[in-house]
Amino acid sequence: MILLIVFAFIAGLVTILSPCILPVLPIVLSGSVTGGKSRPLGVVTGFIASFTFFTLFLTTLVKTTGIDPDTLRIVSVVVISVFGLSLLVPKLQTVFEQVASSIVSLGQKGQQTAATVRSDFVAGILVGISLGLLWTPCVGPILASIISLALTGIVTGTAAIITLAYASGTAIPMLAITYGGRELLAKTPWLTQNTPLIQKIFGVLMIATALAIAGNLDRKLQTYILDVFPNYGVGLTKFEDNPTIKAALNNLKPAKPASRERGKPMYDYLTDIGRAPEFIPGGEWFNGHPLTIQGLRGKVVLVDFWTYTCINCIRTLPYLKSWWEKYKDKGLVIVGVHTPEFEFEKDAGNVAKAIKDFGLTYPVMQDNNYATWDAYANRYWPAKYLVDKNGNIRYSHFGEGKYDETEKAIQALLAEAGTDVSDMQVTNPTYQVQSRTPELYLGYWRIANFASPERIVEDESAIYSVPTDLKRNTFAYLGNWTVGYQRAMPTKGATLLLHFDAKEVFLVMRPKNDAGNVKVYLDDTLVSNQAGEDVKNGTVTVTADRLYKLIKLPAGGAHILKLEFLDDNLELYAFTFG
């Protein structure tokens, strides 16, 4: 235990060198330019307490109270934004200080100086608490083990002390930075003379940081930094990865079954996550009549949230089809919950065609209103939930991967239901994603990494151009385009350039009328041998609303994709990569 505490503390210390700390540095540094000397102490105290508490108990808090974790984030964003605003408006800062002083000086007349110190400390604690909830660390093996235990509701005194040690280690460099900034401000005449201006700059930075975190732009900043400096932060957690630490971490996990219990089914050790919510149809049912969780008691149910243009979902479908064929006669029921990402995915005809194209024979329901999605508090495409014979969720997995683990959980729950599947082999094929380019949306709702120098003109025709140097993982429009909420619509002769780093490129498109055509170029050459399945003689003919496969390379790498549009009949939604 002592070894883990020491290593957790060191892991916290070196976090200051990781890219994860960069998005919150403006908030930390703001303590250098405002408040008294107790303000930074309040910030780090609030941060340590908040990070420790929410790391250990957020999952339990959400389950017991039903509060949405995003609500807590929003409150934290508001608190940090208000403190940033107080740096911009001196009168507002004075009001806050007076309120804080009044609170801490209740019953302590004649001790105004002490009350002022305490008000600074209280103000710092509020910022620190918000920071502890918002900050996402670069997780090494020690913290990852603690988080995984917390997610299953297992919180021990040892786990609490280790988390506290990590938070304390992280807070010390923060405190040093803040006090170092104060010293620099005090000893540099120009900075001292311009303190009000510096406070306003940090006020803007705090508000911008809070809003960026609210929009998850902090993660995009980290991604960008790692794209530019791929070795930044590499190896910082390597010192945790040694046999002694691994052995100590294993001791944190629940004890393995005693020798007399060994040989008991795996389902005895699957966590009961809670009662599975009912299906709430938001459209039609396909491949059968409507089903209910209550009506499926005695069966093992795999609930799969998906949408037919999501490449991550598409790559999981072969595994689902395989499990359906292997276990449908053994008591497994798969229910695909089709929750649309784009408006056209709500169309029952489009969904039916996709089900037929993918060869899905298990039941699928439409969830056009996100009612079932919300009932499960789901946030991901794809997402899988396994429901046992009693109607309880016993396993979940988000995203791709862990196919063997998921199938073993299916087998375990079938065994619990009384079905012998011991002769069934778990042999799932592997798929490796070689993309370093994120998913890119083309409508203004979620557009990112857009490189054309012109500003987006929403819902109106506009002329765009291409920059002289198209950076990696960015794209640009050229010619006349209309950029809508979810889609971008090129005119005849318009082009799109994309600098990607991946093995495969996919694009969600739909025709406005009967069909649309687009030529595909790779590195200024009409694509041929490296074309995706939907490209014929260098051209894609778009006849349906779906994901189209444009590029399939032998290996991942950086290339320039150019799309040349041959008519006015296309709507483009999103690029994804493999």
Spatial contact of 127 and 83, defined as CB atoms under 8 Å apart: yes
Q: Compute the average pLDDT of residues 418-439.
A: 81
How distant, in Å, are the alpha carbons of 162, 295, 366 from that of 288?
A: 51, 14, 13
Given this model, what pLDDT does residue 456 score?
92
d(CA 218, CA 302): 34
Q: Which of 34-43, 160-169, 259-268, 486-495 has the lowest mean pLDDT?
A: 259-268
How distant, in Å, are the alpha carbons of 56, 137, 332 from that of 152?
A: 10, 20, 25
Range picked from 18-22, 102-106, 173-177, 555-559 for highest mean pLDDT: 555-559
Q: Compute the average pLDDT of residues 15-20.
A: 67
Class of domain 440-577: mainly beta
Instruction: Identify the bridge partners of residue 482 per DSSP, sorted by sequence position.
Output: 461, 489
Spatial contact of 331 and 300, defined as CB atoms under 8 Å apart: yes
Neighbour tally for 246: CB within 10 Å: 12
Q: What is the band of 91 on the pLDDT scale with cuts at 50, 70, 90?
A: confident
Spatial contact of 103 and 119, defined as CB atoms under 8 Å apart: yes
pLDDT tens digits along 361-383: 999 999 988 888 888 888 778 88
Range picked from 21-35, 89-103, 169-183, 412-426 for highest mean pLDDT: 412-426
Q: Given a cut of 70, is residue 515 above it in pLDDT?
A: yes
d(CA 245, CA 238): 11
Q: Which of 173-187, 256-270, 507-521 has the lowest mean pLDDT?
A: 256-270
Instruction: Identify the bridge partners of residue 306 per DSSP, sorted by sequence position.
Output: 338
What's the alpha-carbon Rg for the chain, to the nearest Å?
A: 27
Q: Which residue has better confidence, 112 or 58? A: 58
Across 512-545, the runs of DSSP E, i.e. the strands, are: 516-522, 525-526, 539-542
Output the DSSP codes for 356-391.
HHHT--S-EEEBTTSHHHHHTT---SSEEEEE-TTS
Q: Which of 18-32, 415-429, 563-577 has the lowest mean pLDDT?
A: 18-32
Given this model, what pLDDT does residue 519 score?
97
Given this model, what pLDDT does residue 563 score?
96
pLDDT tens digits along 125-157: 877 787 777 665 554 555 555 554 454 445 667
Instruction: Identify the bridge partners of residue 575 per DSSP, sorted by sequence position.
Output: 440, 507
* DSSP code of residue 152: T
Q: Give percent of the chain above pLDDT 70.
A: 74
Alpha helices (H) in 66-110, listed in sequence order: 69-88, 90-104
Q: Compute the average pLDDT of residues 269-293.
A: 81
pLDDT tens digits along 45-67: 887 888 788 777 765 666 566 66
Angle at 424 between CA 419 and CA 428, to 5 degrees: 130
Q: Which of 220-224, 338-342, 451-455, 530-534 has the lowest mean pLDDT?
A: 220-224
Q: Given a cut of 60, is residue 440 above it in pLDDT?
A: yes
Q: Compute the average pLDDT of residues 340-358.
A: 88
Q: Nearest CA to 518 among 532, 529, 504, 503? A: 532
How distant, in Å, are the alpha carbons of 333, 347, 371, 376 from that of 368?
A: 22, 9, 8, 15
Q: Compute the average pLDDT of residues 162-182.
A: 80
Q: Does domain 266-416 correspond to CATH entry 3.40.30.10?
A: yes
Here the contacts of 220-227 (C-beta below 8 Å, separation 24 or greater) are: 220/438, 220/448, 221/22, 221/23, 222/19, 222/20, 222/22, 222/23, 223/438, 225/19, 225/22, 226/19, 227/436, 227/472, 227/473
Given this model, what pLDDT does residue 542 score?
94
Given this model, what pLDDT does residue 518 score?
96
Q: Given a cut of 80, is residue 544 above it in pLDDT?
A: yes
How distant, in Å, are the alpha carbons of 21, 217, 232, 505 from that of 225?
A: 12, 12, 8, 23
Alpha helices (H) in 378-498, listed in sequence order: 403-416
Given this model, what pLDDT does residue 299 score?
93
Q: Given a cut of 80, is residue 120 above it in pLDDT?
A: no
Positions of CATH 2.60.120.260 in the chain: 440-577
pLDDT tens digits along 304-316: 999 988 878 888 8
Q: Nearest CA to 373 among 423, 437, 303, 430? A: 303
Given this model, what pLDDT does residue 80 score?
76
Q: Which residue has better confidence, 105 or 211? A: 211
Q: Is 231 exposed, middle or buried (0-12, 13-18, 19+ CB in 10 A)?
A: exposed
Range picked from 1-5, 247-251, 282-286, 370-374 for highest mean pLDDT: 282-286
Q: Which of 38-52, 92-106, 159-173, 260-274 has the lowest mean pLDDT?
A: 260-274
* DSSP code of residue 183: H
Given this model, what pLDDT does residue 50 score?
81
Task: Give the DSSP H/E element, type plus range, for residue 510.
Answer: strand 495-511
Given this model, what pLDDT does residue 121 score?
77
The per-residue pLDDT of the chain, averaged, comes to 79
Q: Given a cut of 80, is residue 550 above it in pLDDT?
A: yes
Q: What is the band of 260 on the pLDDT scale with cuts at 50, 70, 90?
A: very low
d(CA 284, CA 239): 54
Q: Given a cut of 70, is residue 558 above it in pLDDT?
A: yes
Given this model, what pLDDT does residue 3 score?
73
Given this model, what pLDDT does residue 451 score?
93
φ, ψ of residue 384 to 5 degrees: the values are -125, 135
Instruction: Identify the bridge partners of residue 392 per DSSP, sorted by sequence position.
Output: 275
Positions of CATH 3.40.30.10 in the chain: 266-416
Spatial contact of 151 and 59, defined as CB atoms under 8 Å apart: yes
Does residue 303 sit in helix, strand or coil? strand
